[in-house]
Amino acid sequence: MLCAMDRYRLANRALWDEWTAINARAESFYRLDEFRAGGVWIRDYEIEEVGPVTGKDLLHLQCHFGADTLSWARLGARVTGADFSEPAIGLARSLAAEIGIAATFVCAELYELPERLDADFDVVYTSRGVLGWLHDIPRWAGVVARFMSPAGSSTSPRSIRWPWPSTIAPA
């Protein structure tokens, strides 16, 4: 029998697997045609917070189908994106190939990523809205720390929304 957190994690992955196809068609929000034509999805405040990325190695945790990851590549970074959804990673790889951007995409549960990826990065990045889906922020911070090079930096969204009932949210 699965515990509540395992049920949540499996349901969450199934949701993101399903949302990949939906989001890929969501022209009013994701605007993939605009992205394919050269758009960059990183917001100005994020670019300012991260700073110049030209020539830097950047890891994007919870990258979904990689549009933000590939946007960082368009800004000059060497990019690796990681996500737990196989359909999302498949779409990220095909999108990168379609637009001719070199990128690495790894499919792995966030907390298992250190077992699947052996590299250090100058920047470890998370997009807006991702931390609220996590059940263990201290463990997430450990994953971030594991991948940062000694002179590296990390950035995370400005706002966190907690989606779980108080019975399973960390204290």
At 114-150, the pLDDT tens digits run: 999 999 999 999 988 788 788 888 999 899 999 998 8
User: What is the set of domains in the chain, with CATH numbers?
Assistant: 4-155 (3.40.50.150)
Q: Is the pLDDT of residue 159 over 90?
A: no
Kindly indicate the confidence band of residue 154, based on its pLDDT and cuts at 50, 70 and 90.
low
Quote the CA–CA distance of 135 and 160 in Å, as a whole number.
Answer: 12
pLDDT greater at residue 159 or residue 55: 55
Amino acid letter, residue 31: R
Mean pLDDT taken over the chain: 86
Kindly indicate the confidence band of residue 153, based on its pLDDT and cuts at 50, 70 and 90.
low
pLDDT of residue 165: 42
Dump pLDDT digits (tens) for 103-122: 999 999 999 999 999 999 99
pLDDT of residue 59: 96
Quote the CA–CA distance of 54 and 74 in Å, as a whole number.
Answer: 9
Quote the CA–CA distance of 27 and 31 in Å, as a whole number.
Answer: 4
Dump pLDDT digits (tens) for 55-74: 999 999 999 999 999 999 99
DSSP state of 66: S
